[in-house]
Amino acid sequence: MTQHHPADRIVVLTGAGISRESGLETFRDADGLWSRHNIADVCTPEGFRRDPMLVDRFYNGRRAELAGVQPNAAHLALAELERAAHDGRWNGELLIVTQNIDDLHERAGSHNVLHMHGELRRVRCTSCGATPEWLGDCLPDTPCPACHRPTLRPDVVWFGEVPLHMDRIETALAGCDRFVTIGTSGTVYPAAGFVAQVRDHAETVDINLDPPQVPTLFDRTLIGPATRMVPQWVIELLGA
């Protein structure tokens, strides 16, 4: 009995740029989050120890913004590609590895999603390890719903911390036929190192408003807004 082997195993790595047209800010664009907030204050464990109220307010603000936005055509196109794999229109397999902490991929209908930098709509208890879903505000004295201790923090991976799901991500990268980056500046590791890791065995494609920092790492670059370029790329795949 022969095992079914999808002809096209694709790993898509997404960054803040895919959610920009939904109304969520990126980090490093001119008007991005890091132009107004200090990374050391709001995106490190040391910053959280120094001023947990400042950090909680930062993520509370982003959580409130997330409640007011919707997935866009780029998120929807990737969800459509996953559906096409399930219903046999496409002989492939899609895994989305996202650096984003928003839930727009899932809200668009994608299921095969790994959040390597955590999730904004979860908090984590540093006492009991619970990671409850969290849609509203969380403050330093907010009790954990499981152990009732006031030791909750955003369930986000900060600089200096180890990203999540790295074993599954490494396995998928080792076995992929195509690797596609969408809306990421390629400046933060380990994600920024994935393309060099797969170049020997996978086609590499970058989709972004701007050309990649190291164009030689990519076999193809699709320059333009994600809401236009991602649906075009998916139509091409499904048409092929």
Q: Is 75 in the site for ligand APR (CB under 6 A)?
A: no
Distances (CA, A) of 105 to 8, 76, 144: 21, 8, 27
Q: Which of 117, 148, 165, 201 is catalytic?
A: 117
Return all residues near 25 (Cβ < 8 A) that are at least 6 apart: 16, 31, 32, 33
138 is in an annotated binding site: no
Sign of CA pseudo-dihedral 193, 131, 129, 140: positive
Question: Helix 226-239 to helix 73-86 angle, to the nearest 10 degrees?
Answer: 20
Q: How far is the CB of 55 from ligand APR (least distance, A)?
A: 14
Piece of the chain touching ligand APR by CB under 6 A; list 5-13, 14-22, 124-132, 169-177: 14-22
For this structure, is 86 an active site residue? Answer: no
Applying CB under 6 A, among 71, 92, 163, 183 the residue interacting with ligand APR is 183
Spatial contact of 101 and 120, defined as CB atoms under 8 Å apart? yes
Residue 23 or 143 with smaller CB distance to ligand APR: 23
Residue 188 within binding range of ligand APR, rule CB under 6 A = yes
**72 binds ligand APR per the rule CB under 6 A:** no
Distance CA 24, CA 63 (A): 11
DSSP sequence for 116-143: TTEEEEEEEETTT----B--S---TTPP
Does 210 engage in binding with ligand APR (CB under 6 A)? Answer: yes
Q: Which of 10, 11, 13, 20 binds ligand APR (CB under 6 A)?
A: 20
Q: How far apart are the first and last CA of the chain?
A: 28
Minimum Å gap between C-beta 5 and ligand APR is: 32
Closer by beta carbon to ligand APR, 17 or else 231: 17
Round to whole Å and give the CA distance between 192 and 213: 10
Residue of minimal CB distance from ligand APR?
17
Task: Name the binding residues for Zn(2+).
Answer: 125, 128, 144, 147
> Catalytic site residues?
117
